[in-house]
């Protein structure tokens, strides 16, 4: 099988421009027209998230895990043909691998900022970032190969949302801080650090009763799902608030140590 696109023609200036692929909140590809098939969309997303050439066999078996080897490879050929009709330079393939010959602009990577950079943003930019970090990775897609990238993205965005909430709280922007922490809790309701961030923001806003309700909700969820209670850290923050003591930064070592951690990309392994 000869490579796609055809070898020997080279890449013109337009062909070298980044291809825009979005995977947060849904899938889209900025080629001017949508790929004509769902398998083509999944192939583009798989290669874009991988970020490097991928063995044909690995692509075929990842995207069509329940098919026979012959059927999976045939389905891959069909999907590659469909992608080529959309944009001949979006993906390339030979007998061994599939790759992106032109740069791909992936929205997920634009959210992969160093966490330390977030604290330098304007308050309005931090508030806008909450909407981006609240987006799920390819919602409605249930492919097995997405499990690990989705877990990585969820962990990265919860961490970022907690930091955004803490930073907004420090600037006196209580309502946006509540929004950021609430978005983190929505991703994983049993994550204690997200609940603490939300309770801190609610308390700063003057809503102690609502913060107590969050603690009850967390304990109920932990008991019903895991048969355990929340950690002492949760009660420590609430007790400090009730007693009128100043709350120390979130986390046993404070937020400063968190700010140096990079937000990981959700690459396919």
**Which pair of tokens denotes residue 19?**
């291809």
Q: What is the pLDDT of residue 262?
A: 44
The helix/strand/coil state of 222 is helix
pLDDT digits (tens, 9 = 90+) for 240-264: 766 664 455 554 344 444 444 444 4
pTM: predicted TM-score of the whole model, two decimal places = 0.82
The pairing of strands 104-106 and 97-99 is unpaired
Contact in structure between 258 and 248 (CB atoms under 8 Å): no
pLDDT surpasses 90 at 267: no
Q: What residues contact 215, with CB distance under 8 A and at least 6 apart? A: 195, 199, 230, 234, 235, 238
pLDDT digits (tens, 9 = 90+) for 168-208: 999 999 999 999 999 999 999 999 999 999 999 999 999 98
Domains identified in the chain and CATH numbers: 14-106 (1.10.10.10), 112-258 (1.25.40.10)
Query: What average pLDDT does the segment 139-152 reach?
Result: 96
State the average pLDDT for the chain. Answer: 84
pLDDT digits (tens, 9 = 90+) for 95-138: 999 999 988 999 988 776 556 677 788 999 898 899 999 999 99
C-alpha 264/C-alpha 168 separation (Å) is: 22
Contact in structure between 182 and 169 (CB atoms under 8 Å): no
């Amino acid at each position: 099988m000869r490579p796609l696109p055809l070898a020997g023609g080279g890449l013109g200036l337009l062909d070298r421009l980044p291809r825009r692929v979005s995977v947060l909140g849904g899938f889209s590809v900025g080629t001017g027209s949508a790929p004509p098939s769902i398998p083509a969309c999944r192939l583009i997303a798989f290669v874009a998230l991988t970020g490097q050439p991928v063995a044909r066999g690995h692509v075929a078996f990842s995207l069509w895990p329940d098919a026979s080897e012959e059927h999976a490879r045939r389905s891959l050929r069909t999907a590659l043909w469909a992608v080529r009709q959309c944009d001949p330079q979006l993906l390339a393939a030979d007998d061994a691998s599939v790759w992106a010959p032109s740069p791909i602009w992936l929205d997920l990577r634009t959210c992969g900022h160093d966490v330390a950079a977030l604290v330098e943003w304007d308050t309005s930019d931090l508030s806008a970032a909450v909407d981006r970090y609240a987006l799920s990775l390819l919602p409605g897609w249930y492919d097995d190969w997405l499990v690990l990238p989705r877990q990585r993205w969820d962990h990265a965005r919860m961490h970022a949302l907690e930091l955004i909430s803490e930073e907004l709280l420090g600037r006196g922007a209580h309502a946006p801080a509540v929004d950021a922490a609430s978005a983190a809790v929505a991703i994983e309701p049993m994550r204690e650090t997200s609940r603490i961030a939300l309770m801190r923001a609610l308390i700063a806003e003057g809503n102690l009763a609502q913060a107590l309700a969050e603690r009850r909700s967390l304990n109920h969820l932990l008991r019903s799902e895991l048969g355990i209670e929340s950690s002492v850290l949760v009660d420590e923050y609430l007790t400090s608030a009730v007693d009128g003591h100043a709350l120390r930064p979130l986390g046993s070592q404070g937020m400063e140590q968190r700010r140096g951690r990079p937000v990981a990309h959700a690459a396919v392994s």
